[in-house]
């Protein structure tokens, strides 16, 4: 079972936003007191954070799908939906995040460094937020937007001060075990080390970390052996240590040949690196130390004598050590400490990147209309952030919500652009991405069923009826009394004139 993973493909998704609520407040003696539907909560974000206690990406190898919680739905009485909780994923120091196409998105170095991998969707507006002076009682609310979904590649590049490179079974893991408290697996066969090992070395006032790069063989920079899987772990080191086997059992190998082969692979790999200019010293120009290991053996001693002068011509420190007997390890630890300390002081201070705001241009187009083939006929697709977002927020089961969408699109100028593009009544129009677009037969003026009841968004039951004042009531009472007295006076005048008639008898009976 794997215990160390330094490269994973992670699929992350932000939480969806909660839907808004469509509700009407009810009060005593006033059953329709106005809209009180609240907004939905925003979905949670997926955040990658560097954690000192995390050293591998193994957990994401077993669980490659991560999703944040969604926001709560809005409710009546202006009770807004709860915001979804952010999902914080711990990653090791030195994790590089790239997109599926290889674009580097973030380089997480330093404890506590964060990167928002997927943002949560916005919550939908409730009908209280949609109410206006013309739309006093919206009978609909907006839906919450889905969270952002992305596929990321996480690669771990160890943040070590010293990198040990060399052939398999050269003794790199033995050196780390002898110089630090690390206890890697050690055996007498090639490719014993299958994962990078890290160890902390203390030598006097110096304290630094050492890592080995396992599996380097000829062709490692092209993917042979385990080279490409672990060469990335030397990119951040300050010092390179070539560990040469002075007592190799293979007759075709010797320290000089091994050194030339490893340097050739490192140069080939360094040429493919895409580092920022000035960020670090080029890989092949960094301080180098040559270590002849296994010199406690007779064959190792003899080989060291044979190559000592040739290696001295390189003008780099050459040390003869033995991981088994600890010969020369103290001197090696101090030499590495001095080089690391010097490299740290020469490194430029990290500069905080300025915050650059790039607002959209004033004349930037908010959408565009393109023509394409759909079901064998010419269709018109509306592309743009606003139209696509409005479509995602619309409840198409609600006629009033569909009408509201039509009003927004018409106000944005979508109908005018469709006419300019050649669309006519009955043309097929698509809004949204190709895999999840809304398709409809376009009419220059979209009418929803709720419009037959009057102006969309209004309710006659909620119209503000004027309450008469006391003087107005007295005036109406006076008018009614005056009208009644006039009728009585007219009847009395008819009686006096002898022209009185019984309404129960018709003229013939009389």
Judge whether 197 is annotated as a binding position: no
Burial grade of 3 (CB within 10 A; 0-12, 13-18, 19 or more): exposed
Judge whether 159 is annotated as a binding position: no
Distance CA 242, CA 289 (A): 6
Judge whether 8 is annotated as a binding position: no
Token pair, residue 469, equals 């004042």
Judge whether 215 is annotated as a binding position: yes
Closest CA to 371 of 381, 357, 356, 383: 381
From the DSSP assignment, how many helices (H) and strands (E) are in the chain? 11, 18
Judge whether 322 is annotated as a binding position: yes
Rounding to the nearest 10 degrees, give the CA dihedral for residues 341, 345, 346, 352: 130
Q: Which segments of 97-170 does DSSP mark as H helices, in order?
A: 127-130
Q: How many Å is the Cα radius of gyration of the chain?
A: 40
Distance CA 315, CA 352 (A): 37
Closest CA to 43 of 89, 78, 81: 81
What is the secondary structure of 246-291 as a DSSP string? TT-S-TT--HHHHHHHHHHHHHHHHHT--PPTTTS--GGGS-EEEE
Judge whether 166 is annotated as a binding position: yes
Judge whether 295 is annotated as a binding position: yes
3-state secondary structure 31-72: CCCCECCCCCCCCCCEEEEECCCCCCCHHHHHCCEEECCCCC
Judge whether 294 is annotated as a binding position: yes
Judge whether 170 is annotated as a binding position: yes
Judge whether 194 is annotated as a binding position: yes
Distance CA 359, CA 372 (A): 31
Judge whether 214 is annotated as a binding position: yes
CB contact at 8 A, 333 and 203? yes
Helix, strand, coil in percent for the chain, rounding step 5: 30, 20, 50
Judge whether 188 is annotated as a binding position: no
Judge whether 209 is annotated as a binding position: no
Instruction: Say which residues have a Cβ less than 8 Å from residue 358's Cβ, sequence separation at least 6.
Output: none
Q: Helix, strand, or coil here: 386?
A: helix
Judge whether 212 is annotated as a binding position: yes
Judge whether 5 is annotated as a binding position: no
Judge whether 396 is annotated as a binding position: no
Extract the annotated binding site for GTP. 166-173, 191-195, 212-215, 293-296, 322-324
Extract the annotated binding site for Mg(2+). 173, 193
Extract the annotated binding site. 166-173, 191-195, 212-215, 293-296, 322-324
């Amino acid at each position: 079972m794997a215990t160390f993973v330094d490269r994973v493909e992670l699929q992350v998704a932000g939480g969806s936003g909660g839907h808004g609520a469509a509700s009407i407040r009810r009060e005593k003696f006033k059953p329709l007191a106005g809209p009180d539907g609240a907004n939905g909560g925003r979905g949670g974000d997926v955040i990658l954070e560097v954690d000192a206690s995390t050293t591998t990406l193994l957990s994401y190898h077993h669980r490659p799908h991560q999703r944040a919680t969604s926001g709560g739905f809005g409710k009546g009485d202006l009770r807004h939906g709860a915001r979804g909780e952010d999902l914080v994923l711990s990653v090791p120091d030195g994790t590089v995040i790239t997109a599926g196409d290889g674009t580097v998105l973030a380089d997480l170095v330093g404890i506590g460094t964060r990167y928002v991998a997927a943002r949560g969707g916005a919550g939908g507006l409730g009908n209280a937020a949609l109410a206006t002076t013309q739309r006093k009682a919206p009978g609909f609310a907006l839906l919450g937007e889905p969270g952002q979904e992305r596929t990321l590649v996480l690669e771990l590049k160890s943040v070590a001060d010293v990198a040990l490179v060399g052939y398999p079974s050269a003794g790199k893991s033995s050196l780390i075990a002898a110089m630090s408290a690390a206890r890697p697996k050690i055996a007498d066969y090639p490719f014993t080390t299958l994962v990078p090992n890290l160890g902390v070395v203390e030598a006097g006032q110096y304290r630094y970390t050492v890592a080995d790069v396992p599996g380097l063989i000829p062709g490692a920079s092209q993917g042979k052996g385990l080279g490409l899987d672990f060469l990335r772990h030397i990119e951040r080191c300050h010092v390179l240590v070539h560990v040469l086997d002075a007592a190799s059992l293979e007759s075709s190998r010797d320290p000089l040949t091994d050194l030339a082969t490893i340097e050739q692979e490192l140069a080939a790999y360094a040429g493919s690196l895409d580092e920022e200019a000035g960020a670090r010293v080029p890989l092949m120009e960094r301080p180098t130390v040559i270590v002849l290991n296994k010199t406690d053996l007779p064959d190792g001693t003899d080989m060291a004598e044979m190559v000592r002068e040739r290696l001295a011509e390189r003008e780099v420190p050459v040390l003869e050590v033995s991981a088994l007997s600890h010969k020369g390890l103290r001197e090696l630890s101090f030499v590495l400490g001095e080089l690391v300390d010097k490299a740290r002081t020469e490194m430029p201070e990290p500069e905080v990147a300025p915050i650059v705001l790039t607002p959209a241009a004033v004349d930037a187009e908010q959408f565009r209309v393109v023509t394409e083939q759909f079901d064998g006929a010419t269709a018109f697709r509306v592309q743009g952030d606003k139209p696509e977002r409005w479509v995602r927020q619309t409840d198409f089961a609600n006629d009033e919500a569909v009408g509201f969408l039509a009003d927004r699109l018409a106000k944005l100028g979508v109908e005018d652009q469709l006419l300019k593009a050649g669309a006519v009544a009955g043309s097929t129009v698509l809004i949204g991405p190709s895999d999840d677009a809304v398709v409809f037969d376009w009419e220059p003026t979209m009418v929803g069923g709720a419009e037959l009841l009057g102006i969309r968004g209004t309710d006659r039951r909620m119209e503000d009826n004027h309450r008469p004042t006391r003087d107005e009531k007295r005036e109406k009472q006076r008018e009614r009394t005056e009208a009644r007295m006039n009728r009585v006076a007219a009847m009395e005048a008819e009686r006096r004139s002898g022209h009185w008639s019984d309404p129960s008898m018709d003229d013939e009976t009389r």
